[in-house]
């Protein structure tokens, strides 16, 4: 056993007292040892051959007042995406129905708002109700929420709410200035207090270092309850955004983050989110081996490309894997 190798764990337990140094040590493990520990954690809570499938629809794109450096929907960047109106209910339901027929178990809806106005929630709550009536799990990402807004969405039947931390608190100010880290944490608390499951992760490849990646994972793992879903995004370098020329992250480094997330939050779904369009089959396989067990199906994630469903189906078949069976959602 080398100096960097940690003793093999006997039984994985859920912890909320991680130190950043522990996350850094995991990220620095010899790769075979890291993958071994991630597999042990994964197999204790999940069937490693099953992958949870979600789809994501942008119900309102462009014109966002936030200045997130990675996002093409920001109104602050040189190449702005035109602001669109909220998608009609009929189109949302038609898309949700197609997603269910394609095998998705969860339908996620995203709107480019800093924070929804109360009047916006009337239409969004109706969307949640109608999607849930199809037997799908429901998920939203529509910006910051107040306690009362969170309660309204819970009453409408919302199952999950996505609100990513994006990166470590130390690096956060270099990526976003229009919303504080604490505001993100407050929204997560409001959602959780309302009884809605949390979907929260970050983005790799924005110029952050290993300490920042460890900081992000430590913050997530030390939340009072681990997020039920932890999306790990690989930066999509979009022309016209401040991060368009950022250096690409190699697959081994990315897989290390996946594996560390799996070890620190063993009972959570760790999702391969944005950036999959440019990943090879080998990189996908490596990430599944590292503990990823959730993906988005569909050709677009909000506004960025995503692998076509048939490509994902062929890949899962090649790997001897299959979609996770979803419990029927109830109102």
Active site residues: 64, 68, 71, 108, 139, 199, 271
Query: Between β-strands 322-323 and 50-60, what pairing exists: parallel, antiparallel or unpaired?
Result: parallel
| φ, ψ dihedrals at 53, nearest 5° | -115, 125
Cα angle: 42, vertex 48, 54; to 5 degrees: 100
Alpha-carbon distance 272 to 285, whole Å? Answer: 11
Alpha-carbon distance 142 to 128, whole Å? Answer: 13
Alpha-carbon distance 82 to 268, whole Å? Answer: 36
DSSP secondary structure code for residue 18 in this structure: -
Residue 6 is assigned to a ligand binding site: no
Residue 139 is assigned to a ligand binding site: yes
Nearest alpha-carbon partner for 290 in 277, 307, 317, 271: 271
Residue 271 is assigned to a ligand binding site: yes
Helix (H, G, I), strand (E, B) or coil at 137: strand
Residue 125 is assigned to a ligand binding site: no
| φ, ψ dihedrals at 236, nearest 5° | -95, 115
Give helix 251-264 / helix 20-27 axis angle, nearest 10°: 130
Residue 68 is assigned to a ligand binding site: yes
Tell me how far apart the 2 most distant CA atoms of the chain are, in Å.
Answer: 60
Measured in whole angstroms, the distance separating CA 143 from the mean position of its chain's CA atoms is: 14
- Residue 37, both tokens: 């520990």
Q: Please enumerate, by residue number, every residue annotated as part of a binding site for [4Fe-4S] cluster.
A: 64, 68, 71
Residues tagged in the binding site annotation for [2Fe-2S] cluster: 108, 139, 199, 271
Q: Which residues are annotated as a binding site?
A: 64, 68, 71, 108, 139, 199, 271
């Amino acid at each position: 056993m080398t100096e960097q190798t940690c003793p093999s764990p006997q039984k994985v337990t859920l912890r909320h007292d991680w130190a950043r140094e522990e996350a850094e040590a995991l990220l620095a493990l010899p790769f075979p040892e890291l993958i071994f520990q991630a597999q042990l954690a994964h197999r204790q809570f999940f069937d490693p051959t099953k992958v949870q499938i979600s789809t994501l629809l942008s119900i309102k794109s462009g014109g966002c007042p936030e200045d997130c450096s990675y996002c093409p929907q920001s109104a602050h960047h040189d190449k702005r995406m035109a602001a669109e109106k909220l998608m009609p209910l009929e189109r949302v339901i038609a898309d949700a129905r197609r997603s269910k027929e394609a095998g998705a178990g969860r339908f996620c809806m995203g709107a480019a708002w800093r924070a929804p106005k109360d009047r916006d929630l009337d239409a969004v709550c109706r969307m949640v109700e109608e999607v849930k009536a199809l037997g799908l799990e429901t998920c939203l990402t529509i910006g910051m929420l107040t306690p009362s807004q969170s309660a309204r969405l819970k009453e409408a039947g919302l199952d999950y709410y996505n609100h990513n931390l994006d990166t470590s608190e130390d690096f956060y100010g270099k990526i976003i200035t229009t919303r504080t880290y604490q505001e993100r944490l407050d929204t997560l608390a409001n959602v959780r207090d309302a009884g809605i499951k949390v979907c929260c992760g970050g983005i790799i490849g924005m110029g952050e270092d290993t300490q920042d990646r460890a900081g992000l994972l430590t913050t997530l793992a030390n939340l009072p309850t681990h997020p039920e879903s932890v999306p790990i995004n690989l930066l999509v370098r979009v022309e016209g955004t401040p991060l368009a020329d950022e250096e690409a992250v190699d697959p081994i480094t990315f897989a290390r983050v996946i594996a560390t997330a799996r070890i620190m939050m063993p009972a959570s779904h760790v999702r391969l989110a944005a950036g999959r369009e440019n990943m090879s089959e080998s990189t996908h396989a490596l990430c599944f081996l590292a503990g990823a067990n959730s993906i988005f199906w569909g050709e677009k994630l909000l506004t960025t490309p995503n692998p076509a469903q048939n490509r994902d189906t062929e890949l899962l078949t090649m790997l001897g894997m299959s979609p996770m069976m979803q419990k029927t959602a109830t109102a």
